[in-house]
Amino acid sequence: MSRYLVDTHAALWWLADDPRISPAARAAISDAGNELLVSVASLWEIAIKRQLGKLKAPDDLPDILIEEGFGFLPITARHSWKVQELPLHHRDPFDRLLITQGTVEAVPIITADPRFGAYDTVRVLW
């Protein structure tokens, strides 16, 4: 069994059966033996973008994610504080938090974002 932190877009693409999800990401997410985590930061990001009309997502998205086998990774003080140690390869605050969560929790991140690969503290699967 492996643990993975699933980036916001990857989780949404999985739920939509979007063809942009890579074969490696699709295999990891579909493997029932893997523990799949979605950061609470991703839910926060989706809620904000939904409210602004920049993103469509179901009203019951958290329940749907649970039904699909995802768990939630809370944001801890350690995650938040470690953000200051990251080089500024990426300025998106949600993505920076995911990178520190992946680092602190020692889990690879499933993401198509090529900027995540600039950080040598976290592994990326795509």
Whether residue 8 has pLDDT greater than 90:
yes
Residue 15 phi/psi, 5-degree rounding, is -65, -35
43 has pLDDT over 90: yes
Using alpha carbons only, how large is the chain's radius of gyration in Å? 14
Select from 35, 10, 48 the least CA-distant residue to 105. 35
Helices 8-16, 40-51: inter-axial angle, 10-degree rounding: 70
> Are 112 and 8 spatial neighbours (Cβ–Cβ below 8 Å)?
no
126 band by pLDDT with thresholds 50, 70 and 90:
very high
- Per-residue pLDDT band for 88 (boundaries 50, 70, 90) equals confident
Q: Which residue has the tokens 């958290």?
A: 62
Can you give the three-state secondary structure of 54-102, one letter per residue? CCCCCCCHHHHHHHCCEEEECCCHHHHHHHHHCCCCCCCHHHHHHHHHH
| Superfamily of domain 3-125 in the CATH hierarchy | 5'-nuclease (3.40.50.1010)
Which one, of 47, 40, 14, lies nearest residue 98 by Cα? Answer: 40
pTM above 0.85, yes or no: yes
Residue 51 identity (one-letter amino acid): Q
Length of the chain, in residues:
126
pLDDT of residue 39: 98
